[in-house]
């Protein structure tokens, strides 16, 4: 059983999108629950939009009692993915990180996002002193290979005190379309193929190293 916290210190980095696609990818082989711990409840909304669509990951929204929810679900699910609010200072993010085996930190190619990520790297480093099993990874998100900022990203994130996943997620409109239509990139045929390949690579790297 693995508990995966998706955290960042800003909104719009791609946490929910990563949580949704990761959940959809892992669900093909494993049982899981996506726990929406963000009061904005974007993942939960997405699930409601796709209510009638089979194969969407199950989502539960949790405002209080993250620990008891995780405890109640842990025996019956192989993975619990916790989508966190956009701040490391939020109590939900802190709780999720304390519970997690894996912390994924999406970072967009922007200096503001990089600056905001440094405190998360420090928090994860501190938590690792208590919980050496916690593995944290920066996931480069919404990359546009032709832009200067995106090209500089690998060098910039290497400065942060956290391992960087070599698999990255490019900016692809299919992610937004899937959110709008309540489906997953895995249910998008050829249009989703490149996005699927990126998530599969990330799953291989992080879950089957
Ligand atoms: N890889 C991507 N390609 C294109 N759009 C993306 C990607 N990741 C996220 N988005 C879009 O960017 C916006 C913010 O993403 P979201 O996952 O909601 O971020 P967060 O949960 O960190 O606030 C949403 O409109 C989402 O659809
Ligand atoms: Mg979100």
pLDDT tens-place values along the chain, 209 residues long:
899 999 999 999 999 999 999 999 999 999 999 999 999 999 999 999 999 999 999 999 999 999 999 999 999 999 999 999 999 999 999 999 999 999 999 999 999 999 999 999 999 999 999 888 899 999 999 999 999 999 999 999 999 999 999 999 999 999 999 999 999 999 999 999 999 999 999 999 999 87
Q: Which is the closest atom of ligand 1 to the Cα of 11? A: 23
pLDDT of res. 108: 97
CA of 100 to the centre of ligand 1 (A): 22
Ligand 1 pocket, mutate which of 176, 188, 201 (most atoms under 8 A from CB)? 176
In contact, 61 and 83? CB cutoff 8 Å: no
**CA dist., res. 92 & res. 19, Å (int):** 16
Query: Which protein residues have a CB closer than 5 Å to ligand 2 (ion)?
Result: 15-16, 42
pLDDT of res. 9: 95
Q: Which is the closest atom of ligand 1 to the Cα of 13? A: 22
- In this structure, which residue's CA is closest to atom 2 in ligand 1? 171
Strand 135-140 vs strand 59-61: parallel, antiparallel, or unpaired?
Answer: unpaired
What are the start-end ranges of the E strands in the chain?
2-6, 32-36, 59-61, 79-83, 102-107, 135-140
CA of 126 to the centre of ligand 2 (A): 24
Q: How far is CA 72 from the centre of its chain?
A: 21
Q: Judging by beta carbons within 10 Å of its beta carbon (0-12, 13-18, 19+), is residue 8 exposed, middle or buried?
A: buried
pLDDT of res. 30: 96
- In this structure, which residue's CA is closest to atom 8 in ligand 1? 14
Count the domains in the chain: 1
pLDDT of res. 95: 95
Q: What is the CATH number of the domain that holds 194?
A: 3.40.50.300
pLDDT of res. 130: 86
In contact, 86 and 10? CB cutoff 8 Å: yes
| Residues near ligand 1 (Cβ within 6 A) | 8, 11-17, 42, 86, 141-142, 169, 171-172, 175-176, 179
pLDDT of res. 147: 96
Q: How far is CA 93 from the centre of its chain?
A: 12
CA of 106 to the centre of ligand 1 (A): 10
Query: Rg for the chain (alpha carbons), in Å?
Result: 16
What are the start-end ranges of the E strands in 17-101?
32-36, 59-61, 79-83
**CA dist., res. 195 & res. 97, Å (int):** 27
**CA dist., res. 113 & res. 78, Å (int):** 31
pLDDT of res. 131: 85
Q: Domain span at residue 42?
A: 2-207
Dihedrals φ, ψ of 160, to 5°?
-75, 150
């Amino acid at each position: 059983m693995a508990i995966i916290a998706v955290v960042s210190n800003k909104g719009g980095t791609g946490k929910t999108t990563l949580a949704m696609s990761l959940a959809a990818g892992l669900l093909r082989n494993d049982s899981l629950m996506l726990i929406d711990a963000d009061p904005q409840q974007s993942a939960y909304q997405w699930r409601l939009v796709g209510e009638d669509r089979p194969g969407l990951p199950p989502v539960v929204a949790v405002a209080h009692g993250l620990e008891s929810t995780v405890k109640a679900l842990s025996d019956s699910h192989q993975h619990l993915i916790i989508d966190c609010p956009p701040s490391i200072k939020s109590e939900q993010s802190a709780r999720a990180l304390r519970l997690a085996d894996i912390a994924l930190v999406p970072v967009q190619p922007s200096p503001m996002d990089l600056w905001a990520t440094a405190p998360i790297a420090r928090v994860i480093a501190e938590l690792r002193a208590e919980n050496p099993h916690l593995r944290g990874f920066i996931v480069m998100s919404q990359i546009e290979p032709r832009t200067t900022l995106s090209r500089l990203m690998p060098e910039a994130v290497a400065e942060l005190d956290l391992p960087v996943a070599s698999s990255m997620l490019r900016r692809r409109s299919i992610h937004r379309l899937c959110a709008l239509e309540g489906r997953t990139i895995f249910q998008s045929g050829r249009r989703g193929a490149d996005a699927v390949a990126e998530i599969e690579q990330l799953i291989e790297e992080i879950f089957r190293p």
